[in-house]
Structure 1
């Protein structure tokens, strides 16, 4: 997750649930939050990262810049 800038989970915590998260940093570069999407694994397959990582990382980057 650190290398690619996002992490995904597919049925790891709850069967049938998938999620994708990207870090949000403050102006000092410290991690302060995570921006995440989640939904039924069936709708986000085969991998949430393949579908949404670029969009989520861009949004997390914009949010970090706003802080």
Structure 2
């Protein structure tokens, strides 16, 4: 299976825990090396049509269809 990006919700700080990430999220951060991991803070406001920025070092020529 080819995974391009892992997106996870951030930890809800309702329990006032001092931990920044949950145990599962920390496990993913520590162990996934094949693709980027993006953690969305629980305080983030999502819009209906979010805009994303693609950051690259432009070392590969990617077809527009893959972007």
Question: Normalising to structure 2: TM-score of the pair?
Answer: 0.28
Which one has the largest radius of gyration? 2
Question: Normalising to structure 1: TM-score of the pair?
Answer: 0.28
Which has the larger share of helix? 1
Specify which structure has the bigger relative contact order, considering alpha-carbon pairs within 8 angstroms and separated by 6 or more residues: 2
